[in-house]
DNA sequence: CTGTTAGCGCCTTCAA
DNA sequence: TTGAAGGCGCTAACAG
């Protein structure tokens, strides 16, 4: 009698089979849509009982058999960022198509945490991992990409060269050049490219280097790079003021949203009017940029599409076992023009 | 001979046991730290072999036995939002403490998607679910919270009254009142509270109603509520301009970040200087608000802490099976003062 | 058209 | 201090 009371557990496949008066195999086939050789009657009965019991197959058991978890892991450098959110949405869209679950872990810009995230994904036997790296983690990632039962890995947005696994990024170099050309055409004469440390972070480094190269190759357009560190707000403002006073037609170019916000704030307090006294443009989220001041010209990447693309590559690797070359995929970014770079 | 080539599979517990020359039981005990009755020698050997094989216990198998997935699900109304990101960080912090994985699904502000998310979590046999609801989903959530093998559910930030499961929210009412009192003390005379539709969304509705009540109870402070819908930008600006012209010392109060951005943009184009001509304050992210214009006074909630708290409640339910009253926990929000409400 | 059966990798009771 | 064995829920090959 104690047997009977077994803690109101979930219905199992055996329960369903018993209730229908059929074997587990048949129920299993039903679940997988193998109706071909099944009597209409059996099918309906099974359907009824499943609903009645609110039966759901046990994933753990399925996974155990299949030797696959139907889960992928996604570690994100810093989730508190509209860009990252959209990466997630993209990855998730692709996961839903495949009926795969998504394990997400934020690395909080910490290298140590990123490693822990990845480690924990593998402990969880995910089928693959997407990495939006915090940077400077090349060696570790390369090592696991080879040792770890060759579970597939895809790098997203931030990559490591030369590539050792599939990677999806924006066309940072091309679009940076395009932006610079456009600024030149608009009549700006001095470009100040502002960025946080680019050390070990591919996206930032690529953009910075591209701008640097452009400035040194181009005799009409002059400018400089400023790498923001822990300086005092007032010191930076003084520096910017000095630049503006020497160079008329200065346009500031921010390497990301965060830097853009700071520039806007500095200029506000310096009482410089954007779009008239100075220009501003940025790698930034368009939805946000268009509401700022006169509207800030920005380079809008396509994080959603990047996420989808990365997940797609990952699933290809998971499914087809044949080895193929690593894919390096660039997603085109777009320039969204607003008044902040419209020189009057 | 074909047996031997079995696809380079992962090492299993049996492999480890065989290599050490011991039984699976012993290895299992080792994994669980049951060293008490184990010879030092055996322990070391096992340790060596595990490292050598890079062995990791198979989660699916463990879960199958334990009848628990060590996963919780978290569905988020809209992940593209700094507030949501911090909720995630909080939930995740708590998950890490417990060695539990986090399944995240974005609902993209869609009621249908939210239901799918939850459904899919249960298919995955998560141990519990945290819901940051898109709103208007009371009936569905209440139903599953009772039917679904009484797997615990916690509502986060947005809740439904009367409560039918644990809930964690900000002290929206109290802090709204505090903000209003402060605006009054600062000398503002007319308050315009701007919000998107509050229909079915507890947080927004609570704040709106609180402000409304405050305005009608208070004879010194006057004001109005504006619910933003699909109006034209120019129409809204005209309306705001009209209000400002009639009421000196008007302060705008935005119900969230998004609304705040719009207000700032409108005022910019209306050439109204924030902090002098008009006041602005908002329920918004402080990191962002302080960079806007003169710095925007904002009500900073504590999403990280809220996330932690929600996860904590969930784990309590998962672990202790005893039923207890549902907990409704309010996390205090803080007012961060900047120049936008400093009347000169 | 349907059932039997032998595991998947791990945990746990019982026995030694 | 260690091992043997049954079973968690499901799948798939094989046998009717």
Count CB pairs under 8 A between chains A and B.
109
Gap from A222 CA to chain B (nearest CA, Å): 29
Bases of chain C below 7 A from a protein C-beta are: 1-5, 7-13
CB contact under 8 A, A81 and B81: no
Average pLDDT, chain B: 91
B168: DSSP letter: E
Give the residues across from A122 on adjacent strands.
Answer: none
**What values do phi and psi take at B182, rounded to 5?**
-65, -40
Cα–Cα distance between A25 and B47 in angstroms, integer?
41
| Span A170-190, average pLDDT | 96
Cα–Cα distance between A84 and A81 in angstroms, integer?
5
Between A84 and B46, where is the model more confident?
Answer: A84
A89 CB contacts (<8 Å, ≥6 apart)?
A303, A304, A307, B79, B80, B106, B108
Q: Which of B5-9, B105-109, B165-169, B332-336 has the lowest mean pLDDT?
A: B5-9
Structure confidence by residue, pLDDT tens digits, A280-299? 999 999 988 988 989 999 99
Average pLDDT, chain A: 91
Residue in B58, B108, B125 closest to A89 by CB? B108
- Kindly list the distances between the CA atom of residue B89 and the CA atoms of A78, A81, A102, B308, in Å, as whole numbers in the listed order: 10, 12, 16, 8
Gap from A68 CA to chain B (nearest CA, Å): 9
| Span B62-89, average pLDDT | 92
At B311 the pLDDT is 98
At B211 the pLDDT is 97
pLDDT band at residue B321 under the 50/70/90 scheme: low
| Span A113-135, average pLDDT | 95
Give the residues across from A131 on adjacent strands.
Answer: A75, A155
Angle at B327 between CA B326 and CA B333, to 5 degrees: 155
| Span A254-274, average pLDDT | 94
pLDDT band at residue B47 under the 50/70/90 scheme: confident
At B218 the pLDDT is 80
On whether the CB atoms of residues A276 and A293 are closer than 8 A, the answer is no
Bases of chain D below 7 A from a protein C-beta are: 1-5, 7-13
Residue A20 has pLDDT above 50, yes or no: yes
Mutate to test the interface with B, among A6, A8, A13, A59 (most CBs of B within 10 A): A59
Question: Both tokens of residue B84?
Answer: 């949501």
At A324 the pLDDT is 85
- CB of B6 within 8 Å of a chain A CB? The answer is no
Span CA (A127) to C1' (D1), Å: 38
At A148 the pLDDT is 67
| Span B13-27, average pLDDT | 87
The winner for highest mean pLDDT among A146-150, A180-184, B47-51 is A180-184
At A5 the pLDDT is 35
B53: nearest Cα among B23, B25, B14, B22: B14
pLDDT band at residue B2 under the 50/70/90 scheme: very low
A101 CB contacts (<8 Å, ≥6 apart)?
A70, A71, A72, A95, B103, B120, B124
Question: Both tokens of residue B145?
Answer: 């919270």
Residue B7 has pLDDT above 50, yes or no: no
Structure confidence by residue, pLDDT tens digits, A28-78? 888 888 777 678 888 888 888 888 888 889 899 998 888 889 999 999 999
- Kindly list the distances between the CA atom of residue B130 and the CA atoms of A136, B82, B114, B156, B159, in Å, as whole numbers in the listed order: 34, 18, 12, 7, 11
* Terminal alpha carbon distance of chain A: 88
Beta strand B166-170 with B153-156 is: parallel
pLDDT band at residue A322 under the 50/70/90 scheme: low
Helix axes A202-217, A172-186, angle to 10 degrees: 40
On whether the CB atoms of residues A65 and A120 are closer than 8 A, the answer is no
At A3 the pLDDT is 33
With a 7 Å cutoff on the CB, does B48 touch strand C? Answer: no
Cα–Cα distance between A159 and B125 in angstroms, integer?
35
pLDDT band at residue A9 under the 50/70/90 scheme: low
Cβ-based contacts (< 7 Å) between A 267-286 and strand D: none
Residue A91 has pLDDT above 50, yes or no: yes
Cα–Cα distance between A339 and A321 in angstroms, integer?
51
With a 7 Å cutoff on the CB, does B39 touch strand C? Answer: no
Task: Give the 3-state secondary structure of residue B322.
Answer: coil
**What values do phi and psi take at B321, rounded to 5?**
-85, -15
Question: Both tokens of residue A223?
Answer: 């400018």
- CB of B211 within 8 Å of a chain A CB? The answer is no
Between B208 and B342, where is the model more confident?
Answer: B208
Structure confidence by residue, pLDDT tens digits, B260-293? 999 999 999 999 999 988 999 999 999 889 889 8
Structure confidence by residue, pLDDT tens digits, B216-233? 998 789 999 999 998 999
- CB of B92 within 8 Å of a chain A CB? The answer is yes
Measured between beta carbons, which residues in chain A are less than 8 angstroms from residue B79? 85, 88-89
* Terminal alpha carbon distance of chain B: 88
On whether the CB atoms of residues B297 and B281 are closer than 8 A, the answer is yes
The beta-strand segments (E) located in chain A are 71-76, 101-106, 128-132, 153-156, 166-170, 190-196, 222-228, 250-254, 279-283, 297-300, 328-331, 334-336
| Span A172-192, average pLDDT | 96
């Amino acid at each position: 009698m104690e047997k009977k009371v077994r803690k109101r557990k979930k219905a199992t496949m055996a329960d369903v089979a018993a209730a229908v008066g059929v074997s587990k195999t048949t129920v299993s086939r039903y679940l997988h849509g193998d109706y071909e050789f099944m009597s209409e009657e059996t099918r309906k009965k099974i359907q009824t009982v499943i609903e009645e019991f609110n039966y759901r197959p046990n994933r753990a058991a399925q996974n155990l058999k299949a030797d696959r978890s139907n889960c992928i892991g996604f570690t994100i450098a810093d989730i508190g960022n509209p860009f990252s959110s959209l990466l997630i949405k993209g990855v998730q869209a692709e996961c839903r198509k495949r009926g795969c679950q998504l394990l997400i872990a934020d690395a909080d810009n910490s290298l140590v945490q990123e490693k822990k995230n990845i480690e924990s994904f593998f402990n969880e036997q995910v089928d693959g991992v997407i990495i939006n790296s915090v940077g400077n983690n090349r060696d570790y990632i390369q090592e696991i990409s080879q040792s770890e039962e060759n579970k597939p890995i895809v790098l997203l947005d931030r990559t490591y060269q030369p590539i050792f696994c599939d990677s999806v990024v924006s066309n940072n170099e091309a679009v940076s050049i395009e932006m610079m050309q456009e600024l030149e055409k608009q009549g700006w004469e001095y470009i100040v490219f502002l960025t946080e440390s680019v050390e070990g972070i591919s996206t930032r480094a690529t953009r910075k280097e591209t701008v640097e190269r452009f400035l040194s190759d181009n005799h009409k357009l002059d400018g400089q790079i400023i790498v923001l560190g822990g300086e005092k707000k007032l010191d930076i403002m003084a520096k910017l003021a000095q630049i503006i006073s020497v160079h008329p037609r200065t346009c500031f170019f921010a390497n990301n949203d965060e830097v853009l916000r700071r520039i806007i704030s500095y200029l506000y307090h310096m009482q410089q009017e954007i779009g008239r006294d100075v220009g501003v443009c940025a790698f930034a989220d368009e939805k946000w940029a268009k509401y700022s001041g006169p509207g800030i010209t920005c380079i809008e990447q396509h994080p959603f599409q990047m996420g989808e693309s990365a997940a797609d590559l990952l699933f290809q690797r998971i499914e087809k076992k044949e080895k193929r070359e690593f894919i390096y995929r660039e997603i085109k970014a777009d320039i969204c023009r607003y008044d902040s770079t419209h020189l009057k």
